[in-house]
Structure 1
């Protein structure tokens, strides 16, 4: 049975998990980064799940695909910040690598979902199966 809520989407669940891990990471970063890099990665990581949810709540596949595109952009933004954090050695590399892996998996799932939205017929957005 197709999901009726964004909360049932595996990609949304993974995006929420990623955002929580990013919050945990920022707690370990130096204090001077609290209002610089930390704020940026918290915003873009939480934006991934938020845009999946908002897109799912929209009435058309076109709108849903648009918000999935925004979520993809936020995932790319997060990836960029994580690479900068690793290069600056603001967090352990293994922790950053794990987050990058999660972000990559979510990005691939978003690509698949967007492709399905673009290539399927019209109808309610909540009828899209888990990617």
Structure 2
């Protein structure tokens, strides 16, 4: 299967699923968190598939690799926020484990894609 669009990338598709998961989780946060942790988690989650899409659209492999690096940063930010939400008892341990398993899988996919693109560029990493 050829990749004609960022929408063809499994990592983008899985990231979109993660965004939906985060929106579902944050719906139940306390009202005082609407403009705080809830909003930060939603923005971090949305930035993951958004950066994959933007990087792919740049039509430069070097730029795409750079955007994947930014995406990994957003993923780490979201993981931290999810763990904080669990510490604050906004989400239960089960949701934490499920969400972190999603972020782990997306992280592996992003690093694999990065490695493949860097090989294509012939760069050391």
TM tier relative to shorter chain = over 0.9
2:36 match: 36
Please list, as runs of the form range in 1=range in 2, the aligned pairs for 1:1-131 lying within 5 A after superposition: 1-121=1-121
Q: Give unmatched runs, 5+ long, in structure 2.
A: none
- Offset, 1:21: 0.6
- Offset, 1:88: 1.2
Question: 4+ runs of 1 displaced by more than 2 Å?
Answer: none
User: What CA distance in whole angstroms lies between the structure 1 residues aligned with 2:110 and 2:39?
Assistant: 24
Per chain length, whose mean CA-contact separation is higher, i.e. which structure has more relative contact order (CA < 8 Å, sep 6+)? 1
Q: Give unmatched runs, 5+ long, in structure 1.
A: 123-131
Query: RMSD of the alignment, in Å?
Result: 1.1
- Offset, 1:121: 3.8
- What is the total number of aligned residue pairs between the two structures? 122
**TM-score, normalised on structure 1?**
0.89
User: What CA distance in whole angstroms lies between the structure 1 residues aligned with 2:83 and 2:95?
Assistant: 11
Cα deviation, 1:44-101, whole Å, max 9, x if unaligned, reads 0010000000011112110000001111100000000011111111112211211111
Contact 2:62 2:121 in 1 (8 A): no
- Offset, 1:17: 0.4
- Secondary structure (helix, strand or coil) at the match of 2:89 reads coil
